[in-house]
């Protein structure tokens, strides 16, 4: 978050502002209660060009951060069209004491408060991240390296166990295939055996009655 100087303690035509009052202005600011707009040349009507987000005291100086500032206005400020700022203050807002009313950017007008840093809108260093290909590689401690080695060893053991289990599964599959093939051969053999006629040795002879009687006749 970038802070900009907008006011400092001193004696002005409107009165004297002490370092203590600077701290009070910073402490009192509450955007939920009364939000201070950004204006141009102290205009009391028209659009706001952003809003004061946070107020803080830095010694005898009052600093603020802004929010919701249009890009076009940021460009005008950065191009030098509005190099100086001036604040509007309440001496005592609803019994709260000194309070920031607005921050006005000045064009050709000369500010009463001298010696403030010119405002330039830019990215805050705290909000900027740079990633360089030339950055040094990440360094690991000996303990981290040892932990990684142990993890690799555990994974290798798991892989070996998986391979062994896979071999057993392949063996079981092969045996099942052989059993199935033998079962098919047995079934085929049974079918062929049922189609073969019985041998004569197993046939019981049947004699007609004439043959049985002829065996009982004696010849003289």
Report DSSP letters for 132-156, one per residue: -TTSPPPP--HHHHHHHHHHHHHHH
Tens digits of residue pLDDT in 36-47? 999 999 999 999
Tens digits of residue pLDDT in 198-210? 554 554 444 444 4
Cβ-based neighbours of 136, under 8 Å, separated by 6 or more: none
pTM: 0.54
Boundaries of every domain in the chain: 4-110
Position 214 scores a pLDDT of: 42
Centre a 10 Å sphere on the Cβ of residue 82 and count the other Cβ atoms it contains.
22
The DSSP secondary-structure symbol of 43 reads: -
């Amino acid at each position: 978050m970038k802070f900009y100087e907008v006011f400092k303690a001193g004696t002005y035509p409107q009165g004297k502002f002490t370092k203590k009052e600077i701290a009070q202005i910073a402490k009192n600011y509450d955007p939920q209660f009364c939000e201070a707009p950004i204006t141009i040349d102290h205009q009391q009507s028209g659009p706001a060009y952003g809003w004061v987000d946070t107020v803080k005291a830095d010694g005898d100086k009052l600093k603020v951060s802004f929010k919701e500032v249009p890009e076009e206005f940021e460009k005008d400020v950065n191009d030098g069209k509005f190099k100086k700022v001036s604040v509007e203050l309440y001496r005592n807002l609803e019994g709260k004491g000194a309070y920031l009313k607005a921050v006005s950017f000045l064009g050709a007008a000369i500010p009463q408060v001298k010696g403030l840093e010119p405002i330039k809108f830019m990215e805050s260093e705290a909000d900027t991240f740079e990633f360089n290909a030339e950055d040094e590689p990440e360094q690991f401690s000996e303990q981290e390296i040892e932990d990684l080695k142990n993890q690799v060893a555990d994974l290798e053991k798991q892989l070996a166990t998986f391979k062994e289990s896979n071999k057993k599964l392949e063996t079981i599959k092969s045996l099942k295939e052989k059993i199935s093939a033998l079962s098919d051969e047995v079934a085929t053999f049974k079918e062929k055996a049922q189609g073969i006629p019985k041998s004569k040795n197993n046939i019981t002879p049947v004699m007609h009655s004439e043959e049985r009687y002829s065996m009982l006749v004696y010849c003289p």
